[in-house]
Structure 1
Amino acid sequence: MNRRLKRILKVVLPLAFGLLILWLLYRHMDMQALLSTLRSDARFGIIFLGCLFGTLGNTIRGFRWQLLNRTLDPEVRCINSILTTHGNYGVSLALPRLGEVWRVATMSHYSGIGFGRLLGTLFIDRIFDVIALGVLLLVGLLLNAPFFGQFFTANPRITAWWSDVITSPWFYIIVVFLIGLLVALLLWVGRSQRARDLVKSVVEGLQTIKTMSQKWLFYLYTVGIWVCYFLQFYICFWAFSFTQDLSLSAALLSFVMASVGVLVPTQGGMGGWHFMVIYTLMAYGVESADAQSFALIVHTCQAILWTGFVGLTSMALLPLVNRNRNTVNQ
């Protein structure tokens, strides 16, 4: 398979998967209901305010990454850490998950820090995201425990479905397949000198969390990132009449479910984000058409239009802010 075809498939396959999920979610939607919401219910000024909090959260993420990068090189520029962080999301809108690779490669180009070492700092960045998301999920479940008790009692088919999943032979086949992939990866690392060198560099980057100064600021940034992300989502509840009366705990759980949905490898979490938001809102009594409108309008405005615009702008600014500096890729 030639490189051009691989590049095309990296764009087309995730996009097709995301569009398939959207088609399954929206194929029976009443378009008149969507148009009515767009004309008379959606308050786009409030949605835009939420966008600003999302941009602030990504900027704080850049500051947090700078703390790790500065441990590798005290002279690393903060503006590059911020712009590559924003640019990451712009790239991911076209090439899901490759935005992270672009972020590390571009930072390596402009800072001179080795790719593997920066990759280690990025792993730390994502590890703390997983921890934060896990804590938020736990809090959301605890706050909504009475609701879940009533919901599962009223919908016994969900419990039966999960029981069928974990007793299915396909479940164990998938588990064995994933373990096999992990073993194959470890064997490849053991046989390849290049892979071993990369792993050593990554481990060096991972160790920056130990040697980093101002650890308290790193943790504060982590809290700030997720507070901003939550406000980005929650503020949009006030943009629609059918969500503005939902409780804070309902918003928190919807936000966590949406964040899990972003893990689907599609452009901007397209499809997975919509699925999680729609069905979580419906569980809290929002009508299907209204939940569909909320997911489609908010995701399009925030993830596709605004975040994409900020990301592309950041990518364009990088060579300008570094035009008078030598760039070395070590």
Structure 2
Amino acid sequence: MSKKSFIKFLKVAIPLGIGILVIYYSLSAATPKERATLWKNIKGANPVYIAASLVFGTLSHLSRAYRWQYLLQPMGYHPKLSNRFMAVMAAYLANLGIPRSGEFLRGALLTTYEEVPFEKAFGTIISERIADFIMLLLVVGFAITLQTDMLLTYLKEQNINPLYTVAFLIFAVGGIVIGFKIIQRAQTGILVKLKNFMNGLIEGMQSILNMRNKWAFIGHTLFIWVMYVLMFWVIKFTIPEISYASTAVILAAFVIGSFAISVTNGGIGVYPISIGALFVFFGYSKEGGEAFGWIVWGSQTLLVLVLGALSFLFLPILNRKK
């Protein structure tokens, strides 16, 4: 195995291994009665609410695909909604294997099937992520406002510090800006090619400033995040104990899940167990909290697996002429 292949293997294996270890530790630490209760809660989940969650999730993905057009239009590109949607779902599926690989795949698929230059497509995806990160910060801020003392105490106990994420992003953006400045001064060699790529990337990112439909973009962004919260919130009715949880507690769990999902491939293991730990912190049973987390994670992961696989299948079929 080459060094490059080995590194790729580690990128998949390490997060996946962490997730499996977390699951093993959680289940082995539970008593037989606790495991039985957890499984009972999952099996007894009302499928109507799970179906509603899947509908909300699908609507969020569809809205994301539709919103993408507002960033592509200023550059003169008008890819079909079907291709945008399938690229989004294929990207989510790729993220289950290698975290954050989906963004690159999404741009590459648009290049392949809609002839949008990769650097420009990828630039629009970065702009999307910035908008989504702002929304996440707003949700975090609202959740903290509702449960300031308890949520901050929980984050401290779990050694989770969202400020580290913010600080990392600030340093990363600063490093990127400095790198851009250096590359922009290049006159020869590979740096010139890199400069041309960066210029296309910047053009894609700047598309958010040149949109004709800014309010429509903002509206879709709000809609996407409302759907995210709803697909999470509605699952509380599948667990009798959790069904009485307040909106503040559900939002707190949503915030924890948003950070936990990036730790392993698709949040496997860490996502449901982190959410379960938060519910325990708020006085709910571990079994009920973890069952809630597993149902949310399992249903949405299944949605991505199905729609992502179908997208990979139908993209080449529906774009044969291209």
How far residue 317 of structure 1 moved from its aligned partner, in angstroms, is: 1.6
Decide whether aligned partners of structure 1 residues 79 and 300 sit closer, same or farther in structure 2, where only a CA change above 3 A counts. same
Name the amino acid aligned to 2:194: A
How far residue 189 of structure 1 moved from its aligned partner, in angstroms, is: 6.2
Question: Could you tell me which residue of structure 1 aligns to residue 143 of structure 2?
Answer: 140
How far residue 22 of structure 1 moved from its aligned partner, in angstroms, is: 2.6
Query: Of 303, 307, 310, which residue of structure 1 is paired with 2:307?
Result: 310
Question: Could you tell me which residue of structure 2 aligns to residue 44 of structure 1?
Answer: 47
Structure 2, unmatched stretches of 5+, are none
* Structure 1 Cα separation of the partners of residues 15 and 149 of structure 2: 37
Indicate conservation of the 8 Å contact 1:72/1:113, yes or no.
no
1:185-264 paired onto structure 2 within 5 Å: 186=179, 190=183, 192-264=191-263
1:259-298 paired onto structure 2 within 5 Å: 259-264=258-263, 266-298=264-296
Question: Secondary structure, in 3 states, of the residue corresponding to 2:97?
Answer: coil
CA deviation digits over 1:141-180, x for unaligned, max 9? 11223655xx84xx8x849x799xx9xxxx9xx98xx78x
Identity score, percent = 25
1:73-152 paired onto structure 2 within 5 Å: 73-145=76-148, 147-148=150-151, 152=153
Name the amino acid aligned to 1:9: L
Structure 1, unmatched stretches of 5+, are none
Question: Secondary structure, in 3 states, of the residue corresponding to 2:209?
Answer: helix
Decide whether aligned partners of structure 1 residues 21 and 245 sit closer, same or farther in structure 2, where only a CA change above 3 A counts. same
Does 1:57 pair with 2:73? no
Does 1:23 pair with 2:20? no
Indicate conservation of the 8 Å contact 1:282/1:291, yes or no.
yes
* Structure 2 Cα separation of the partners of residues 75 and 162 of structure 1: 41
Decide whether aligned partners of structure 1 residues 107 and 254 sit closer, same or farther in structure 2, where only a CA change above 3 A counts. same
Question: Could you tell me which residue of structure 2 aligns to residue 66 of structure 1?
Answer: 69
Question: Could you tell me which residue of structure 1 aligns to residue 38 of structure 2?
Answer: 34
CA deviation digits over 1:218-253, x for unaligned, max 9? 000000000111111000000111110011121112
* Structure 2 Cα separation of the partners of residues 88 and 259 of structure 1: 18
**Structure 2 length-normalised TM:** 0.84
**Structure 1 length-normalised TM:** 0.83
Decide whether aligned partners of structure 1 residues 20 and 113 sit closer, same or farther in structure 2, where only a CA change above 3 A counts. same
Name the amino acid aligned to 1:269: G
CA deviation digits over 1:160-214, x for unaligned, max 9? x799xx9xxxx9xx98xx78x9489839963733332222111111111121111
Kindly tell me the number of residue pairs found equivalent between the two proteins: 305
How far residue 4 of structure 1 moved from its aligned partner, in angstroms, is: 4.0
* Structure 1 Cα separation of the partners of residues 149 and 13 of structure 2: 43
Indicate conservation of the 8 Å contact 1:237/1:243, yes or no.
yes
* Structure 2 Cα separation of the partners of residues 283 and 96 of structure 1: 29
Indicate conservation of the 8 Å contact 1:84/1:107, yes or no.
yes
Name the amino acid aligned to 1:223: L
How far residue 318 of structure 1 moved from its aligned partner, in angstroms, is: 1.1
How far residue 52 of structure 1 moved from its aligned partner, in angstroms, is: 1.4
CA deviation digits over 1:106-164, x for unaligned, max 9? 1111111111111110011000110000001111111223655xx84xx8x849x799x
